[in-house]
Structure 1
Amino acid sequence: MLVDSHCHLDFPDFQTRLPEVLATAAAAGVGRMVTISTHVARFDTYRALAEAHESIFCSVGTHPHNAADEPDIPAERLAELSVHPRCIAIGEAGLDYHYDKSPHDVQQRVFRTHIEAARTTGLPLVIHARNADEDMIRILTEEMTRGRFDAVLHCFSSGETLAQVGVELGLYVSFSGILTFRNSEEIRRIAAAVPHERLLVETDAPYLAPVPYRGKTNEPAFVAHTAHVLAEVVGVSDEEVARFTTANFYRLFSKAAAADSIGGQALAS
């Protein structure tokens, strides 16, 4: 079984196609997926998707693009919402200096709030990082000294130093369809250096469809193509990548393992 550890099934791309998308995912061996929050205000939507479909879990958090829209949601509120049994993570939150849709100081403050929520709840933080490596490294290092928290650097497209620091801090690193792109030699080199026990795969659907679907709407089934390239990069079989990325998912997202009998099987394998 494969897990799509990060997708956005609430987006308009899937509103009329969700049953087909889930069936295609199942046929491709993708048994679980996490629909990721971008607005806390939309948590009811994420929760409803996870309640309606056994294969879907959800998170709660504010994407850095939307930090200016939700600048003052306290960690206590994130923790309160995360109690829902199908909510297994905090985020996505982080820093995005590429599009600059929210001021940097607001992004940083909101990010630290999400770190606090992850620390107090014990749920992993889903981290978005784009063109902000220096500040991301600084904040992660500072916050880890204040108290440990679990996290994943999702859709990794940053520099080697951030990956190294993330692994040193105990974070996981998740790779998307970017790994399959022809001009992504550096990302493949970074993926090869990440310990197998820290690797995850994802789609970030509907974005970043992997080769051979690049330019089309991405969907959870396509994570199999990213996993295949990851297998080539790290020098193991597709089956081995499926085994260890699924085990890693259930180890990091331990609430999913508790809610899902497959989690116990994956961890025992």
Structure 2
Amino acid sequence: MSDDAKKLRLFDTHCHFDFDVFAADFEHHLLVAREKGVERFVIPSIGAQNWQRAAQLAERFTSQIYYGLGIHPYFLQADSEKTLADLEQSLIHAGRECVAIGECGLDGVVDIPAPLQERILLAQFSLATQARLPLILHSRKTHDRLIYLLKQARFTYGGVLHGFSGSYQQARAFTDLGFKIGVGGVVTYTRAGKTRRAISQLPVESIVIETDAPDMPVCGFQGQPNHPGRLVEIFKALVSLKDMPALELSQQLWRNSCQLYGLDEERSAAGHEVKP
């Protein structure tokens, strides 16, 4: 490994490290990722079923793991109004490791009524405004509608559009509203021409990287659970797309990620702290 490679500090801005696939030997998976240069992680929650687990991991692995609290459109239920009330209470009692609202958003493919999705999403916009936290946004075939709702709500705390797949024009619509673009495994596939072109055109200041582990596999690892350690493969693809020195790009991405989540850039740089 070159001296420059040793200095790379990577931040997985969106990984579901709390999912069962990692639970049996979590510390091993964390070590594997850290050996690849991944120093920080944000766990976006999907609903009440994993708020506590995400918070517990962040409390245990301080300065490494952070989390978001939210309700994913996949998991909306008939009692989602009660879940919103529970979310508000969870935010009140959340510690400093809670750095975002999400994962929340819209999905044009799942069989969940659009009016319900939008109602719950707008409520989460309001909670994010109250808490002065950014949003972790999910959007599938709903970019235009999501942009409209963000403008209508006059949301000003920014966030990230996670797992971006789309055109340059769509990406810029979000960055114009103060959002970062979450670049994941899709850019490792040469067939993803439209998304790769969009990412190559975006200002590097508008980009963060993510794995969405255990989902969104990177090229060469199809059929396997994704892993935060594979963030380095996404980073390598981005180095090629942006035609930048690896160290310079990693430093910019680190700054972007820390800015996104309101974190000190230098905290925990020398290692990790684990609470018993």
Structure 1 length-normalised TM: 0.90
Decide whether the 8 Å contact of 1:122 with 1:150 is kept in 2: no
Shift of 1:162: 2.4
Cross-structure match for 1:88: 99
Cross-structure match for 1:97: 108
Match of 1:63 among 72, 75, 83: 72
Cross-structure match for 1:266: none
Aligned ranges for residues 1-12 of structure 1 at < 5 Å? 1-12=9-20
Question: Which sections of structure 1, spanning at least 5 residues, go unmatched?
Answer: 264-269
Residue identity opposite 2:60 in structure 1: A
Cα 1:69–1:14, aligned 2, differ >3 Å: closer, same or farther? Answer: farther
Shift of 1:148: 1.5
Question: Which sections of structure 2, spanning at least 5 residues, go unmatched?
Answer: 1-8, 271-276
Cross-structure match for 1:267: none
Shift of 1:76: 3.6
Decide whether the 8 Å contact of 2:10 with 2:250 is kept in 1: yes
Shift of 1:185: 1.0
Cross-structure match for 1:26: 34
Shift of 1:260: 3.2
Residue identity opposite 2:47 in structure 1: H
Shift of 1:44: 1.1
Cross-structure match for 2:194: 186
Identity %: 27
CA RMSD of aligned residues (A): 2.0
Decide whether the 8 Å contact of 1:94 with 1:127 is kept in 2: yes
Decide whether the 8 Å contact of 1:6 with 1:36 is kept in 2: yes
CA distance in 2, matches of 1:78, 1:139: 24
Residue identity opposite 1:68 in structure 2: Q
Shift of 1:41: 4.0
Residue identity opposite 2:106 in structure 1: L
CA distance in 1, matches of 2:14, 2:78: 22
Residue identity opposite 1:224 in structure 2: V
Tell me the secondary structure at the aligned position of residue 111 of structure 1.
helix
The answer to which structure, 1 or 2, has the higher relative contact order (CA under 8 A, 6+ apart) is: 2
Residue identity opposite 1:26 in structure 2: R
Decide whether the 8 Å contact of 1:118 with 1:124 is kept in 2: yes
